[in-house]
Structure 1
């Protein structure tokens, strides 16, 4: 059973709102939940889905569950920007009224469903560098397809 199979549009909304409102339990902030939140925010709260606002929301959420945003953990700018681009691209492949649960299922069924998907585009040392965590660093293994 894949992670998206239990998520309907109501649970996707609950995840996104829970993250933004800093009330989502930490154990529910999974790889699929990251994508669910991104998709919902892109559709319903695009002002939060802009990199600066999304970074602020993720940092605040991380701190609310006891996390730390520093040079080795927590918020990661390059992964966030790449993920937003990927989520926008996946949404563009579907009609505007397609349920988010279907879009999420399609996204998770592909390469983006693997939590290590960025390593197809960045060397590990580049992706996990302080520079990539703090700001955008372009891929060094290949161009992003989105």
Structure 2
């Protein structure tokens, strides 16, 4: 699978803008990219310990999607399994990373790492399983390999 070069960040303020915009539901829809998802997740984990990301992230994303005119259905919007897999990937990355770096450099390293690739979940799931309605609604176990 050909991987697109990720859009990298140039400041911590860019990442804070995404995280705060997600929470306030003011982030323009076109800015809610794959890179923004991972930047927001990293920001939430490192800068917002007041948010229980495991329990609150699904509703944060669902509410944001609805606020920009999107739907959370069987075919679009929030995807539980993909969200959980990438959340695990961000945590794996952060466990090995130098957290003293500026946040934007940390996020850029994440985006360039295996865990930051758009296709990272497909190392563990077949497309049929990952993109199923069941996987969108609920976290399902991988069918190719265990997630580290």
Runs of at least 5 residues in structure 1 that lack an aligned partner in the other structure: none
- Residue by residue over 1:5-32, the C-alpha shift from the partner in whole angstroms, topping out at 9 and shown as x without a partner, is x331111011011011100001111111
1:111 aligned to 2:111? no
CA RMSD of aligned residues (A): 1.6
TM, length-normalised to structure 2: 0.89
* Matched residue count: 144
1:37-52 equivalences in 2 (<5 Å): 37-48=40-51, 50-52=53-55
Partner of 2:84: 81
Q: Give secondary structure in 2 for the equivalent of 1:105.
A: helix
Deviation at 1:105, TM superposition (A): 1.3
Alignment counterpart, residue 23 of structure 1, candidates 19, 23, 26 = 26
TM, length-normalised to structure 1: 0.90
Partner of 2:7: 3
Runs of at least 5 residues in structure 2 that lack an aligned partner in the other structure: none
* Cα distance, 1:2–1:80 mapped onto 2, change above 3 Å: closer
